[in-house]
Structure 1
Amino acid sequence: MTQGFDYDLVIIGAGVGGHGAALHAVSCGLKTAIVEAADMGGTCVNRGCIPSKALLAASGRVRELRNAHHLKSLGIQVAGVEFDRQAIADHASNLVSKLRGDLTNSLKRLDVEILQGRGKIAGSQKVTISTGSGEKTVTAKDIIIASGSIPWVPPGIEIDGKTVFTSDDGVRLESLPSWIAIIGSGYIGLEFSDVYTALGAEVTMIEALPQLMPGFDRDIATIAERVLIKPRDIETKVGTLAKSVKPGSPVVIELADAKTKEVVDVLEVDACLVATGRIPDTKDLGLDAIGVETNRGFIPVDDRMAVLSSGEPVPHLWAIGDATGKMQLAHAASAQGVVAVENICGRHRLIDYHSIPAAAFTHPEISFVGKTELAAKEMGKEEGFEVAVAKSYFKGNSKAIAEGEADGMAKVIYRKDTGEVLGVHIIGMHAADLIHEAANAIAQRNSVQTLAYFVHAHPTLSEVLDEAYKRAVGSH
């Protein structure tokens, strides 16, 4: 243990990022403590990835079993599918409890000290932990901030947690409204629209930007609209602002033109989910005391995950996860945590955001890694290279046809000159699992010429990527 300090490392925040950093720190021989003010596991385990996937799994089964046409094509008939909303909600909350317990136990087993309370930087290499009964200060050679994020609620929207709520409350599935408005068409909005429509609700999706799914590659968004939105009970309003949302029965929503801000319509719905993104949870962290200025609440960091003050690294202070605003994904936070610990241990390592994949667990799934076609072309203009695209379709894949799930596409974006893969986007069955091959290829800076000669098992969905690589080099 480092001379003169209580700990080698104190981590503020026990979400997936903080947990990943703690596990890696212990494996590197560091005496580690983790500070958590609320539930162990942070957003992902308690209010995000985990409960939402449980809801998607259950509601997805309901959708499948009610799709008589699809089942009939496989020679199956199912009569009268019913579900119990409370039992589905319990499935999600039981999973949360189990994983929260597993995460806590894994830290205890490795002798990571769990300090319950609100952590705050109290000066160089010092953290104050506030609890209901007072506060104590501990010292550490290094500190990692992993304080996470909270849902962003735009001005004019009133939340009551029952009729108007964010994803934090949505994952509890306390009710099943007949008609729900969802504000935002990113990952969260898409996943919840999948859950609600599968369980029989009608959805109105409100998007302030001129296109649905603004963060997605355009080709993927086009297919998603055809497969995930048009055949379902979803009405969409783009270029539309939810200017004011009043909770109650009914919920009253004033819709305005996003450009002019003039009210164009008033909606009365049973409930409203606000899925407008997340903001960093970095208030009262004591950053100002050590001269660190946040940018819209985000903590500035370099690619070693060192916190920056006026562009220079602050000694022994690191930040990871949603609080840095780089990539708001649980696995990105975990990867950043490992990078921070490596640098703490004197081993130079940088984070490679380009190769971190992301997924939406809709039915079918959407996943991507690297750049969109538009972003790749902009980069090509700046750096003087041309971009090419290869596409392959699930409708030509034997496994997808056998499953009766042939909607979807894989799109590979690469440099014409070197063949280096710049981005891969997939929509289709198990897209979230398929993307990792592409993520690893990008991490290795592989070319389509190399990838086209790799062998994939037949018949598997992975051949969708195999086909795209082969098309890119013209061997198909």
Structure 2
Amino acid sequence: MSNVYDVIIIGSGPGGYVTAIRAAQLGLKTAIIEREHLGGICLNWGCIPTKALLRSAEILDHANHAKSYGLTLNGTMTADVKDVVARSRGVSARLNGGVAFLMKKNKIDVIWGEAKLTKPGEVVVGKMTKPVVEPQNPIPKGVLGEGTYTAKHIIVATGARPRALPGIEPDGKLIWTYFEAMKPDFMPKSLVVMGSGAIGIEFASFYRSMGVDVTVVELMANIMPVEDVEISTLARKQLEKRGLKIITEAKVSKVEKGTNSITAHVETKDGKVQTITADRLISAVGVQGNIENLGLETLGVKTDRGCIVIDGYGKTNVPGLYAIGDVAGPPMLAHKAEHEGVICIEKIAGLPNVHPMDKAKIPGCTYCNPQVASVGLTEAKAKADGREIRVGRYNFNANGKAIALGEDQGMIKTIFDKKTGELIGAHMVGAEVTELIQGFVVAMNLETTEEELMHTIFPHPTLSEMMKESVLDAYGRVLNA
């Protein structure tokens, strides 16, 4: 088998494997290099298995409030941590096998091993230094591995890993990253979560549903700092109502380790320090790109703050070398990586009308309880940009479907340019908002105005009706409030 390809992609996460499929569809001879498991972090250790965990937590929450739905459960509803984790890992294993099937279906060669760029257009693949971890299926004998491979176009899609703070490095036992938090061998009684971004808040929400005493420590003034302040404030109130303890404008300055517990020293902005003793601490202070040991320095690839610098089409400063996904910088989201990869490969293939990534139209979702979703500018950012705006709001407690579901706490907020009627931002907190946000994403991509949204018929009774009511509210025309 020839070791010469049109395209070689390093990394098989959402960005990598989707890009490989699109390359194959465009008739390019394609290979993908993977050192650990198909599907990358998202499928095996991130997006997918966490949603499986959160689904178990959601069902437990509903069961614990069955009486409010007129139901009585015979017996006590309890969570078996081993079974909850086993279901989550099984979901990942199923999808992992699906990626392997897609590679075979699209005639994409999978090369197993550690990739290193040695010169433009060349990749040397060495032995796998990391063991293959579940749920990766055993690597078949006789597959491609060590060797030298060449391609006119090489795309780096190596993803990211948890960021560690000096002195509070994860040890796999007392201080966890999302790897350990995702498959605990026991359910701790108490937990400190350091960081309130999507990863931190999702795990905080999950463990609270499991009955764990959870304290979240956040450096910024608001949890989920990238979100609209009004939305994150409502989310905080609901999370605290569920029993989470949240400390903002504070940092974990030191962690003392005991035999089977930690003591976190939490320093607030006024310099005061309090100590919190808990069974475990989850470090969720962000992620950093996997740029090491790839040979980037040898080729003179430009990097910035731990990520590869690219243009709107994934090109680096080295001809024939590209980067996509987390390793190419924020926002570090699976769907961003997928779309970025498609843009990159379609540009390589010479397709007409390929547009660069518009990061203002990338939705963000956090799957805690309550869910949070957003796209575009926050109210504060729009004002900081000097834009005159109209803001609409609609509360869940005025929506029939939300009330019927017993999920009547939340809000949908829309932001319009006052002069043009352009929708420039949408922000939500509440039940199933991660499924609703795409409606506004589509609207923004089509450059929809408030007039067109007002004349769109939303089905009744649905949660989606609140989207239209929020638009109407921005223009003083709300009907059901």
User: TM-score of the superposition, structure 1-length normalised?
Assistant: 0.93
AA aligned to 1:39 is H
2:212 to 165, 185, 201: 201
Distance between the aligned counterparts of 1:16 and 1:132, measured in 2? 21
Query: Kindly tell me: are residues 334 and 432 of structure 1, through their superposed partners in 2, closer, same or farther at Cα, counting changes over 3 Å?
Result: same
- Residue 104 of structure 1 aligns to which amino acid in structure 2? A
Q: State the SS of the aligned residue for 1:35.
A: strand
- Kept after mapping to 2: 8 A contact 1:182/1:274: yes
SS in 2 for 1:307: coil
Asked if 1:240 is matched to 2:242, the reply is no
Q: Measure how far apart 1:258 and its partner are.
A: 5.5
1:398-457 residue CA offsets vs partner (Å, 9 max, x unmatched):
111111111110000110000101110011111000000001111122111211111111
Deviation at 1:135, TM superposition (A): 4.3
In the alignment, structure 1 segments of 5+ residues that lack a partner are: 309-313
Amino acid at match of 1:157: I
Q: Is the 8 A contact 1:243 1:253 kept in 2?
A: no
Query: Does the 8 A contact of 1:255 with 1:263 survive in 2?
Result: no
Amino acid at match of 1:292: V
2:280 aligned with 1:282: no
Q: Label 1:258 to 1:130 Cα distance change in 2 as closer, same or farther (>3 A).
A: farther
Q: Find out whether 1:377 has 2:383 as its counterpart.
A: yes
Distance (Å, rounded) in 1 between the aligned partners of 2:203 and 2:153: 39
Letter in 1 for 2:255: V
Per-residue Cα deviation, 1:210-230 (whole angstroms, up to 9, x for no partner): 3332221111011101112x2
Report the CA distance shift for 1:270/1:82 in structure 2 as closer, same or farther (over 3 A). same
Q: Distance in 2 between matches of 1:253 and 1:153?
A: 18
Q: Distance between the aligned counterparts of 2:34 and 2:435, measured in 1? A: 31
Is 1:322–2:326 an aligned residue pair?
A: yes
Q: Which residue of 2 aligns with 1:255?
A: 265
Instruction: List runs of 5+ in structure 2 lacking aligned partners.
Output: 130-144
Find 2:418's aligned residue among 404, 416, 419.
416
* 2:349 alignment partner in structure 1: 345
* Worse-superposed segment, 291-300 or 329-338: 291-300
Question: How far is 1:83 from its partner?
Answer: 2.3
Q: Is the 8 A contact 1:54 1:95 kept in 2?
A: yes
Q: Which residue in 2 is equivalent to 1:311?
A: none
Q: Which residue of 2 aligns with 1:432?
A: 434
SS of structure 2 residue aligned to 1:289: helix
Corresponding residue for residue 124 of structure 2: 128
Question: What is the CA deviation profile of residues 104-158 of structure 1, one whole-angstrom value per residue up to 9, with x for unaligned ones?
Answer: 1111121100000111211111111111599421110111100100000111113
Change (3 A) 1:387 1:5: farther
Give the corresponding residue for 1:55: 53
Q: CA deviation at 1:102?
A: 0.7
| Aligned counterpart for 1:333 among listed residues 322, 337, 342 | 337
Q: Give the secondary-structure state (helix, strand or coil) at the position aligned to 2:316.
A: strand
SS of 2:71's partner is coil
Query: Is it true that 1:402 corresponds to 2:397 in the alignment?
Result: no
Choose from 32, 35, 42 the match for 1:44.
42
Looking at structure 2, the residues matched to 167 and 247 of structure 1 have their Cα atoms a distance apart, in angstroms, of 19
Amino acid of the residue matched to residue 199 of structure 1? Answer: M
Kept in 1: contact 2:252–2:265 (CA 8 A): yes
d(CA) in 2 for partners of 1:89, 1:451: 42
Aligned to 2:180: 169
Paired residues of 1:120 and 1:127 also in contact (CA < 8 A) = yes
Please tell me whether the aligned partners of residues 357 and 367 of structure 1 are also in contact (alpha carbons under 8 angstroms): yes
The answer to which of 210-219 and 97-106 deviates more is 210-219
Q: How many residues are treated as equivalent by the alignment?
A: 459
| Correspondent of 2:71 among 76, 94, 101 | 76
Letter of the aligned partner of 2:120 in structure 1? S
CA distance in 2 between partners of 1:364 and 1:342 (Å):
38
Which has the higher mean CA deviation after the structures are superposed, 94-103 or 238-247? 238-247
Question: In structure 1, how many angstroms separate the alpha carbons of the residues matched to 2:116 and 2:439?
Answer: 40
| Separation (CA, whole Å) in 2 of partners of 1:450 and 1:26 | 38
Distance in 1 separating the partners of 2:250 and 2:150:
50
Q: Which amino acid aligns with 1:325?
A: G
- Comparing 356-365 with 73-82, greater Cα deviation is found at 73-82
Query: How many angstroms apart in 2 are the aligned matches of 1:49 and 1:174?
Result: 20
Distance 1:263 1:404, change over 3 A: closer
- Cα pair distance change 1:129/1:5, threshold 3 Å: closer
Alignment pair present for 1:144 and 2:155: yes
Instruction: Quote the residue 2:452 is aligned against.
Output: 450
Q: Which deviations, in whole Å up to 9, do the C-alpha atoms of 1:137-187 show, x marking residues without a partner?
A: 111011110010000011111322122110122111322100111001111
Q: In the alignment, residue 464 of structure 1 is paired with which amino acid?
A: M
Shift of the 5–343 alpha-carbon distance from structure 1 to 2, 3 Å rule, reads farther
Classify the secondary structure of the residue corresponding to 1:304.
Answer: coil
Task: Select the residue among 2, 8, 12 that pairs with 1:14.
Answer: 12
Instruction: Give, in whole Å, the separation in 2 of the partners of 1:13 and 1:421.
Output: 36
| Alignment TM-score, normalising by the size of structure 2 | 0.92
Whole-angstrom distance in 1 between the partners of 2:17 and 2:256: 38
What CA distance in whole angstroms lies between the structure 1 residues aligned with 2:284 and 2:362? 23
Percent identity between the two aligned chains:
34
2-side partners of 1:365 and 1:240: how far apart?
A: 24
Residue 33 and residue 258 in structure 1: after superposition, are their counterparts in 2 closer, same or farther (change >3 A)?
A: farther
Q: Which residue of 1 aligns with 2:83?
A: 87
What does residue 368 of structure 2 align with? Answer: 362
**AA aligned opposite 1:280:** G
Asked if 1:266 is matched to 2:275, the reply is yes
Within 1, Cα distance between the matches of 2:37 and 2:3?
27
Offset of 1:253 from its aligned partner? 3.3
| Counterpart-to-counterpart distance in 1, 2:264 and 2:56 | 33
Whether 2:109 is the aligned partner of 1:110: answer: no
Deviates more, 1:355-364 or 1:23-32: 355-364
CA contact (8 A) 1:144 1:318 kept: yes
Q: Which moved more, 1:163-172 or 1:10-19?
A: 163-172
* 1:192-231 matched pairs, under 5 angstroms: 192-228=203-239, 230-231=240-241
